[in-house]
Amino acid sequence: MNLKKTIYFFIFFNLMVINTKVIAQTAAKKINESISKIESYLYQNPSAGKIDLLSLLEKNQTASDSIKGYLYMNLATSFGILNQLDSGLWAANNSISLLAVKNIKRASALRTKAILYRLKGEYEPATAAIKECLQLNDSLWKNQTLKAIALQEYASLCNDQNNFYLATKLYLQALDVVNSTDYKDIKGNFNAMKIQVNLAEAYASTGNFSFAILTFQKVMPKLDSLKDYDGYVRTGYQLAESYIQNKQYKTADSLAEKLLPLSRQLKNEELESYLILKLGLSRSARFKYLEAIPYYREAFELMRKNNSAFILDCVVPYLTALKNTGGNSEALQILNNDIVLSMLKLANKDMLLNYKKIAIQFTWNQLSPFQIYEYFQDILLLSDSVKIEGQKQMALELQAKYQFEEQEKNKKLLMRENELLRKSEDYKHKQIYLILIIASLMIATIILLSVRIRQRSRIQAQELEVQKREIQLQKQQTEWAIQEKNYRDHLLEQQKIVMVQTLSDAEELKIKLKQLVEEQAHDRRKELIEQFEKAKENKMGLDKLLVQFNNIHPSFISSLYNAYPILSQSDLQFCVLYRMNISTKDIASLLHIEYRSIYTKKYRILEKMQLGKEDDFDKIIFNQG
């Protein structure tokens, strides 16, 4: 009895474990389904997404760390969209602490953390988070899609810190990743174009406008072919800006004027205002301020209407043009505009400095001497701050150069002191020192010669390597040429064999036909009669099909002929058979034409109907009648 009880208890216990596992898996599946539903509308309605995520988290406190970490990661995203950055960082840190190191979602959480820190303007922790994300991916999963996204985020961080050279390097690395064979994202081409646009912007930021122009010019036709007209216009106005900076003003104007109708067709006033602004900047760059003002005025009104965050990009050159044309009253209206004043609170130091430098020209008479003094102090502080931020790397380089020069000066001073000491010694010691100096010069000469010999040997080795590669390349090209020639010769030989065989078959066929005509004329006539009867039956079969089709679709042929009167009777029969979904082989049999001629006939009908795509042909044929 005890053994039976033990067995029953063991079975019951196993069933309970299995049931618990099933319940846990079912619960996890439901939570993941809920998260997927929330993700689907998170970006359209982040407030509702945040509430739903918090509710889901509250209801599932006993869920696994992986699921809770995934919930916190989505919650961090919703906080970020709502600009609740501190709450977003709290959620991101919770997500990272819950997700295991080998969980790929941990890398996504680190990237989210980097984005939130970047939005806060705290670049050091943002850089640390994105570097950790990249290292984690490289060491564990080597996910090329994630790597490309993280590299772009890292490059954006560098752009924010005016480190455009490193940003350029990172964009190039991201581009290599997207173009690699391991990159599996179906949006690979689109992502590559997006990276190229960012790369061109980085080139422009470093002053390398020729590279920026070439990169923009490569991207625009691709965007046009994908019919991404919004991206096409956005890339175009940046290309126009590079043309202006490169002093290609007429090219910039023609491009902006070409893109303006497209932006209006898209009903995108933001893009329209940027293009109009570029037309004004092009004229200002040539000191044609009177011509530039109408463009600035129109761009400013569009940006004011749409509460554009980039309105200060228009205000600064607009005020500069008004200063040079005496438009003080219009300038004061701009300076006192509510949107301009609100955007000044969010402006970066570069923009604020440029604004204050031009604004003082119009507010000079309205300020007291003390206010003017304070104003200029603000400008000086801003100037120093911008200089420090924009040239930090240059300052470090200059500091290193200065330290090196100081060391060199100290060395020279020590050498002079040694020389004075040597001169103060006895004449006998001078000979010894002279010998030492000569010896040291000889050693230095030997060292220099050895260095130069090594350099020459390296150069020669490199040249030999290049020559070897060229020889290998020539060998490969020769082998390819021989292979191509052999292949062509083989094809020609095969064609000759086929032609000879065809001629011999034709000759043999003639002989057989002659024999048939001479010896079996009666049987041949009978066979021809049978073929004629069969053709007649096929014709009758076609006529029956046409009659049946007319009974079902009485208006098809007439409506098709009225729409395309150029179609012949044979063309109309083909269209009827095509409408009946009859196979290509059966259509060829019914129309007594070769199987391959079907495609030629369809192409000629398309030409008569003046159609370019097969979808249009199907739509017309199946919508008639």
Q: Is residue 152 part of a domain?
A: no
Last residue within a domain, chosen from 320, 347, 374: 347
Q: What is the pLDDT of residue 100?
A: 85
Q: Is residue 337 part of a domain?
A: yes
The amino acid present at 590, given as its one-letter code, is L
Half-sphere exposure of 278 (CA within 13 A, CB side): 32
- Long-range own/partner contacts, residues 408-414 (CB < 8 A, 24 or more apart): none
Instruction: Please identify every stretch of the chain with a pLDDT value under 70, giving residue numbers as ranges.
Output: 1-27, 185-188, 386-409, 411, 426-430, 484, 487-489, 491-492, 494-496, 498-500, 502-506, 513, 516-541, 612-615, 625
Q: Is residue 550 part of a domain?
A: yes
Alpha-carbon gap, residue 352 to 343, rounded angstroms:
10
Angle between helices 597-609 and 584-591 (to 10 degrees): 90
Domain containing 588 — which CATH number? 1.10.10
Q: Is residue 37 part of a domain?
A: no
Domain containing 265 — which CATH number? 1.25.40.10
Q: What is the pLDDT of residue 360?
A: 85
Q: Is residue 130 part of a domain?
A: no
Alpha-carbon gap, residue 382 to 290, rounded angstroms:
30
> Which residues form the domain of 241?
228-347
Q: Is residue 310 part of a domain?
A: yes
Alpha-carbon gap, residue 216 to 255, rounded angstroms:
12
Nearest of 192, 317, 151 to residue 244 by alpha carbon? 317
Which two tokens mark 194?
A: 């997006």
Do 57 and 75 meet the contact criterion of CB atoms below 8 Å apart? yes
Residues 6+ apart with CB under 8 A from 52: 34, 38
Span 326-380, pLDDT tens digits? 889 999 999 999 999 998 888 888 888 888 888 888 887 787 878 878 878 888 8
Which two tokens mark 208?
A: 């390398």
Phi-psi region of 474 (alpha: psi -120 to 50; beta: other; left: phi over 0): alpha
Which two tokens mark 412?
A: 């020279």
Q: What is the pLDDT of residue 127?
A: 92
Last residue within a domain, chosen from 328, 347, 366: 347
Q: What is the pLDDT of residue 25?
A: 55
- Burial class from Cβ neighbours inside 10 Å (0-12, 13-18, 19+) for residue 50 reads buried
Q: How large is the greatest C-alpha to C-alpha distance in the chain, in angstroms?
A: 140
The amino acid present at 401, given as its one-letter code, is K
Q: What are phi and psi of 541, to 5 degrees?
A: -65, -40
Q: What's the whole-model pTM score?
A: 0.53
Do 256 and 275 meet the contact criterion of CB atoms below 8 Å apart? yes
Alpha-carbon gap, residue 586 to 592, rounded angstroms:
10
Total number of domains in the chain: 2
Q: Is residue 249 part of a domain?
A: yes
Last residue within a domain, chosen from 300, 320, 347: 347
Q: Is residue 470 part of a domain?
A: no
Helix (H) or strand (E) holding 471: helix 427-519
Alpha-carbon gap, residue 153 to 132, rounded angstroms:
13
